[in-house]
Amino acid sequence: MLPVVALVGRPNVGKSTLFNRLTNSRDALVADYPGLTRDRKYGQAKYEGLQFIVVDTGGISGDEQGIDAEMAEQSLLAIDEAHVVLFLVDARAGLTPADIGIANHLRKQEKTVYVVANKVDGIDGDSETAEFYSLGLGEISQVAAAHGRGVTQLLEKSLKPLEKSYPDMHIPEVVRNDDGENAEAELQRLQSLPIKLAIVGKPNVGKSTLTNRILGEERVVVFDMPGTTRDSIFIPMERDDREYILIDTAGVRKRKKVSDAVEKFSIIKTLQAIEEANVVLLCIDAREGIADQDLSLLGFVLNAGRSLVIAVNKWDGLSKDIKDDIKRELDRRLGFVDFARIHFISALHGTGVGHLFESVQEAYASATKRINTSMLTRIMEMAQEDHQPPMVRGRRVKMKYAHAGGYNPPVIIIHGNQVEDLPDAYKRYMMNYYRKSLQTMGTPIRVEFKEGA
């Protein structure tokens, strides 16, 4: 599990600027569900060896009325899911009534709150931020989000207390030895563990129907587990002599009202489940086509390096024309995850559900497969023969050899002259060449380039 950090503050204090600095902004997931609006953005932050989930809650002023009050309520819900709240204020603008309103809200939430005075570049931080002590929320951290100043110190201060509960927030070093016994032992260990399978997707795509179908309603009794909205339910199960742990983000118990679907849906829960999983089963609703949300979730899965199987659900009762349309759309928009098997299923009727597990097993096997150095180097040479690397600064780039640099997902490291300067297109070509040659269905692979022999 990763800790969740919420950015709160009135508009224009610099929340997006800080969000973008902490994440790779193109990976932001924007919450855009009915009842969940108010541009909330979710991202996976990776900063100076630390990783966590960051939420930009959108601007709130603390004295919203009517529809605004409902939306502010949503922002506060996001705060409820967070472990730490960073309350941003604008050091240049000084203390405003809206800041005081938000502070009052936050005090009621009983959360760990850090006041962050932003935009301290070019001003006297100590004197300009002194007035924020009157918010009564403790020490003021000074940052300039636009320039990265103070951000490391802020994270150290706010995340340090969570270290014991969330050891995963330290970005691990991948297994770097290839032929050594350590890698071999690690792979054997991974292969013998139950496969952690997360079922994720937008609200109403059929996740709980599918989970119920997989578990077989009559055999498994799942109790309502205590916990907050950000917790998934972990369900051990067995299938074809293989052990699994299902990570259920939807809640298998039948819900009474449809509107509950949105209430129970939590992006944070989904992101945590992806982090926890070995294999992600992403459900897409055939009747709605591919939504931006689906693409964002896929981006997260890729970013996290998780194995992936895609289930296009509600495939029942569609005409052949519509089915063809959907397939064309999938081809067109899902090219960036073409390592993933796509299944067309009906969770409602059970059609195609059994075969999902073949792809899940295949994906995990691909992610934890031993690959030897001589084979990786041979494939590299073939790729180089088929398509010469381009010239960089007047010199031909030469790749010399390759070896495995880690597993789950597989990492391949290529050494050579000027290889770090290869254009992205060629790097992608190498990745695709490896994928095709190694037939690693279901898992992304990473190819890294290192200067020298």
- Is residue 61 involved in binding ligand GDP (CB under 6 A)? no
Is 56 flagged in the annotation as binding?
yes
For residue 212, the minimal CB distance to ligand GDP (Å) is 8
At 139, give phi and psi (nearest 5°).
-60, 150
119, 230, 269, 403: which one binds ligand GDP (CB under 6 A)? 119
- Is residue 43 involved in binding ligand GDP (CB under 6 A)? no
Q: Which is nearer to ligand GDP, 131 or 263 (CB)?
A: 263
Contacts of residue 372, Cβ cutoff 8 Å, sequence gap at least 6: 178, 179, 404
- Comparing CA positions, the residue from 257, 246, 264 lying closest to residue 202 is 264
- Is residue 348 involved in binding ligand GDP (CB under 6 A)? yes
- Is residue 209 involved in binding ligand GDP (CB under 6 A)? yes
The 3 state secondary structure assigned to 256-293 is CCCCHHHHHCCHHHHHHHHHHCCEEEEEEECCCCCCHH
Is 34 flagged in the annotation as binding?
no
Beta bridge partners of 378: none
For residue 313, the SS3 value is strand
* Subset of residues 245 to 284 that bind ligand GDP, contact rule: CB under 6 A: 250, 261
For residue 121, the SS3 value is coil
- Is residue 206 involved in binding ligand GDP (CB under 6 A)? yes
Q: Which is nearer to ligand GDP, 119 or 196 (CB)?
A: 119
5, 8, 16, 117: which one binds ligand GDP (CB under 6 A)? 16
User: What span, in angstroms and rounded, lies between the C-alpha atoms of 37 and 26?
Assistant: 19
Q: Which is nearer to ligand GDP, 50 or 286 (CB)?
A: 286
Is 206 flagged in the annotation as binding?
yes
80, 131, 231, 316: which one binds ligand GDP (CB under 6 A)? 316
- Is residue 236 involved in binding ligand GDP (CB under 6 A)? no
The count of chain residues that interact with ligand GDP, using the rule CB under 6 A, is 32
At 333, give phi and psi (nearest 5°).
-105, -15
User: What span, in angstroms and rounded, lies between the C-alpha atoms of 381 and 388?
Assistant: 10
Handedness of CA 80, 85, 89, 95 (dihedral sign): positive
Instruction: State the alpha helices, DSSP H only, in 93-251.
Output: 97-109, 125-128, 151-159, 181-192, 207-215
For residue 224, the SS3 value is coil
Whether 233 and 225 have beta carbons less than 8 Å apart is answered as: yes
4, 36, 82, 205: which one binds ligand GDP (CB under 6 A)? 205
CA-based R_g, the chain, Å: 24
Count, residues in the chain? 453
The number of helix segments (H) and strand segments (E) in the chain equals 14, 18
- Is residue 443 involved in binding ligand GDP (CB under 6 A)? no
- Is residue 347 involved in binding ligand GDP (CB under 6 A)? yes
Does a cis peptide bond (omega within 30 degrees of 0) precede residue 167?
A: no
Is 292 flagged in the annotation as binding?
no
Q: Which stretch binds ligand GDP (CB under 6 A): 15-23, 72-80, 107-115, 434-442?
A: 15-23
Is 207 flagged in the annotation as binding?
yes
Dihedral of CA atoms 114, 115, 119, 124 in degrees, nearest 10, equals -110
150, 203, 299, 416: which one binds ligand GDP (CB under 6 A)? 203
For residue 74, the minimal CB distance to ligand GDP (Å) is 17
43, 59, 125, 150: which one binds ligand GDP (CB under 6 A)? 59
Beta bridge partners of 278: none
Contacts of residue 66, Cβ cutoff 8 Å, sequence gap at least 6: none
Q: Which is nearer to ligand GDP, 117 or 419 (CB)?
A: 117
Structure tokens that stand for 348 in this block: 């409602």
**By beta-carbon distance, which residue lies closest to ligand GDP?**
206
For residue 108, the minimal CB distance to ligand GDP (Å) is 22
- Is residue 144 involved in binding ligand GDP (CB under 6 A)? yes
Q: Which stretch binds ligand GDP (CB under 6 A): 6-14, 44-52, 175-183, 402-410?
A: 6-14
Structure tokens that stand for 150 in this block: 């103070």
For residue 242, the minimal CB distance to ligand GDP (Å) is 24
- Comparing CA positions, the residue from 67, 111, 94, 124 lying closest to residue 13 is 94
Residues 215-234, one symbol each (x = binds ligand GDP by CB under 6 A, - = not), give --------------------
Q: What is the DSSP letter of 423?
A: -
Q: Which is nearer to ligand GDP, 297 or 376 (CB)?
A: 297
User: What span, in angstroms and rounded, lies between the C-alpha atoms of 272 and 270?
Assistant: 5
207, 230, 306, 435: which one binds ligand GDP (CB under 6 A)? 207
57, 266, 313, 443: which one binds ligand GDP (CB under 6 A)? 313
Q: Enumerate binding residues for ligand GDP (CB under 6 A).
A: 9, 11-17, 59, 118-119, 121, 144-147, 201, 203-209, 250, 261, 313-314, 316, 346-348
Binding residue positions for GTP: 9-16, 56-60, 118-121, 201-208, 248-252, 313-316
Binding residue positions: 9-16, 56-60, 118-121, 201-208, 248-252, 313-316
